[in-house]
A = this chain, B = another copy of it.
Amino acid sequence: MMALCLPSLHLFFYPHPNLRSSYYPYRVPVSSKLRASLITKEEAPEAEEPPLPSSLRALDRKPLSAHEGTLTPRSVDFNAWYLDVIARAELADYGPVRGTMVIRPYGYAIWEAIQDYLNAKFKETGHSNMYFPQFIPYSFIEKEASHVEGFSPELAVVTIGGGKELEEKLVVRPTSETIVNHMFTQWIQSYRDLPMMINQWANVTRWEMRTKPFIRTLEFLWQEGHTAHATAEEAEKEALLMIDVYKKFAYEQAAIPVIAGRKSKAETFAGASCTYTIEAMMGDRKALQAGTSHNLGQNFSRAFETQFTDENGQRQHVWQTSWAISTRFIGGIILTHGDDAGLMLPPRLAPVQVVIVPIWKKDDEKIGVLSTAVTVEQTLKSADIRVKIDGSEQRTPGWKFNFWELKGVPVRIEIGPREVADGSVVVSRRDVPGKLGKDFGICMEPSMLINHVKSRLEDVQASLLRSATLFRDRNIVDVRSYEELKEAISQGKWARGPWSASLCLVDDSQRR
């Protein structure tokens, strides 16, 4: 019954479903029949490895001249725009090994903001952090039948250690259910040890053929929660609770109006009884799986004999969940909110919420403008607003406006000689271009300025969510027949239809 809390009784079909399924952080065994039926004609198979966009390398070689080119417009080539933004906003770069990514400080700071929020939520909901080794004996992966089927094609395998061929090959963790169960068997004896609720922040490796920075990389960072419970009901409740934590995070922090629901059987995580997901619509109307929470049933506990003695002295297998969000989410933020001027960051996750651009022409104006800028910076810092002054003399104010717009900073404050004289500043918001987005003559008096800036940050946060929700809803079509479905997909929209799938708990018994 609990699955009814989620809007999962509709099935969504998405354009470009084969790209979408390869977006998954969790490998799902996709039936080739289902995929085939949904692939649209215009979709050419992707190359094994997208060619290195010249812009990405070139710009990293001269970061200071990043402004001199223009971003590829989204309407011309959405993928090129995405890579341009990542390069010029200095979010990430390619690593030396195919498909790997270096997360640069500005991109990593977004990840830290995501971690700060989720980490607190995980602890509030009773989970403890810990750390499992990343090397997993190959035999562990083979213990759960659908798990090995789903993961074996994409494993990185260590065969040499300390100069010698290893007796048993080691898998670099693609996910940790197997090693977690191995350890749980040692820590769980009786019902008093349950529930066991843990999380780890870690890197994972999946040998993906088609990669894209943040969205799908050979190695990525994530958190993976793992829990064990005495009853099926408790596990289901936990799986639903965590998808709800993710959904709130997406709405309230990332301003991404995800749709929470349940995956079809074909798209369920390899080893799970059912998978809950949050799906987000990107700016090109593709679907991004932004987070998942799995009810694992007893699939792993039976494979690993993870048992407990219940209150009646009977041995029982535990019921489990696992759930994850990864650095892919950063890709989701770029692809949801970005525009032709670059990145647009939701204020709650933005490493820099406010940039101050001091403007002067004559040397005798400089000191007054800069010292006022520093005062404004201190005022905002005292209110825990993340603020930065761009006081460099090598760039014009116009260059700086473009650069910080490209970086997606939500609010800009301009201070020139006139503002110094007036005791006021100009406040511009990133999401509304031109004069419409500017507030002139905002008083510098600390409490007034802080109130104004805080309320502008909230406005931008709300406006990003509103725009993304409008865009999403304009691009979902309710369909009642296969013909209507095909029509919607061919227009690049999402199709929503009724779904006769039964609930997770009912389904589970049929699954094995």
How far apart sit A404 and B221, CA to CA, in the bound complex (Å)? Answer: 35
How far apart sit A486 and B136, CA to CA, in the bound complex (Å)? Answer: 45
Question: A207 with B161: in contact, given A179-B96, A193-B63 (CB under 8 Å)?
Answer: yes
How far apart sit A193 and B66, CA to CA, in the bound complex (Å)? Answer: 14
Proximity string of chain A (47-61) to chain B, C-beta cutoff 8 Å, 1 when within and 0 when not = 000000000010011
Does residue A103 face the partner (Cβ distance < 8 Å to B)?
A: yes
Does residue A160 face the partner (Cβ distance < 8 Å to B)?
A: yes
Which residues of chain A from 74 to 105 have a CB within 8 Å of any chain B CB? 93, 95-97, 100-105
Cβ of B109 and Cβ of A129 under 8 Å apart? yes
Cβ of B157 and Cβ of A158 under 8 Å apart? yes
Which residues of chain A from 104 to 133 have a CB within 8 Å of any chain B CB? 104-105, 107-109, 111-112, 128-133
Does residue A64 face the partner (Cβ distance < 8 Å to B)?
A: yes
Cβ of B186 and Cβ of A57 under 8 Å apart? yes
Cβ of B156 and Cβ of A160 under 8 Å apart? yes
Question: A134 with B104: in contact, given A156-B161, A209-B162 (CB under 8 Å)?
Answer: no
Does residue A437 face the partner (Cβ distance < 8 Å to B)?
A: no
How far apart sit A64 and B157, CA to CA, in the bound complex (Å)? Answer: 38
Cβ of B64 and Cβ of A133 under 8 Å apart? no
How far apart sit A104 and B131, CA to CA, in the bound complex (Å)? Answer: 7
Does residue A30 face the partner (Cβ distance < 8 Å to B)?
A: no
Proximity string of chain A (184-222) to chain B, C-beta cutoff 8 Å, 1 when within and 0 when not = 001101001100001000110101110000000011010
From residue A92, how far is it (CB to closest CB) to chain B in Å?
A: 9
Q: What is the predominant secondary structure among interface residues of chain A facing chain B? A: mixed
Selecting from A15-23, A147-155, A373-381, A445-453, the interface stretch reads: A147-155
Q: Of B128, B155, B169, B202, which one neighbours A203 at CB under 8 angstroms?
A: B202
Q: Of B64, B132, B154, B163, which one neighbours A102 at CB under 8 angstroms?
A: B132
How far apart sit A221 and B154, CA to CA, in the bound complex (Å)? Answer: 25
Cβ of A159 and Cβ of B162 under 8 Å apart? no
- Count copies of this chain in the complex: 2
Does residue A182 face the partner (Cβ distance < 8 Å to B)?
A: yes
Q: Of B96, B132, B156, B182, which one neighbours A137 at CB under 8 angstroms?
A: B96
Does residue A62 face the partner (Cβ distance < 8 Å to B)?
A: yes
How far apart sit A153 and B155, CA to CA, in the bound complex (Å)? Answer: 25
Tally of chain A residues near chain B (CB < 8 A): 65
Cβ of B129 and Cβ of A61 under 8 Å apart? no
Cβ of B162 and Cβ of A198 under 8 Å apart? no
How far apart sit A128 and B105, CA to CA, in the bound complex (Å)? Answer: 6
- Which B-chain residue is minimally distant from A129 (CB atoms)? B108
Cβ of B156 and Cβ of A101 under 8 Å apart? no
Question: A219 with B186: in contact, given A179-B95, A192-B64 (CB under 8 Å)?
Answer: no
Cβ of A105 and Cβ of B133 under 8 Å apart? no
Cβ of B158 and Cβ of A172 under 8 Å apart? yes
From residue A369, how far is it (CB to closest CB) to chain B in Å?
A: 23
From residue A124, how far is it (CB to closest CB) to chain B in Å?
A: 14
From residue A118, how far is it (CB to closest CB) to chain B in Å?
A: 14
Does residue A135 face the partner (Cβ distance < 8 Å to B)?
A: yes
From residue A223, how far is it (CB to closest CB) to chain B in Å?
A: 13
Cβ of B129 and Cβ of A102 under 8 Å apart? no
- Which B-chain residue is minimally distant from A200 (CB atoms)? B108
Q: Of B63, B135, B159, B182, which one neighbours A157 at CB under 8 angstroms?
A: B159
From residue A467, how far is it (CB to closest CB) to chain B in Å?
A: 30
Cβ of A130 and Cβ of B105 under 8 Å apart? yes
- Which B-chain residue is minimally distant from A57 (CB atoms)? B186
Contacting residues, chain B, for A153 (C-beta < 8 A): 162-163
- Which B-chain residue is minimally distant from A163 (CB atoms)? B153
Q: Which A positions have Cβ atoms within 8 angstroms of B? A: 57, 60-64, 93, 95-97, 100-105, 107-109, 111-112, 128-137, 140, 152-163, 169-170, 172, 179, 182-183, 186-187, 189, 192-193, 198, 202-203, 205, 207-209, 218-219, 221
List 29 A-B residue pairs with CB atoms under 8 Å apart, sorted by A's residue number. A60-B186, A61-B189, A63-B187, A64-B189, A64-B192, A95-B133, A95-B179, A96-B136, A96-B179, A96-B182, A97-B170, A100-B133, A105-B128, A105-B130, A108-B128, A109-B129, A111-B131, A131-B221, A133-B218, A135-B156, A135-B218, A155-B163, A156-B158, A156-B160, A157-B159, A157-B161, A159-B159, A159-B160, A161-B207
Given contacts A134-B219, A153-B163, 10 further A-B contacts (CB under 8 A): A61-B189, A63-B187, A64-B189, A97-B136, A100-B135, A102-B132, A102-B133, A103-B131, A104-B130, A156-B160
Closest CB pairs A-B (n = 3): A162-B207, A105-B128, A100-B133
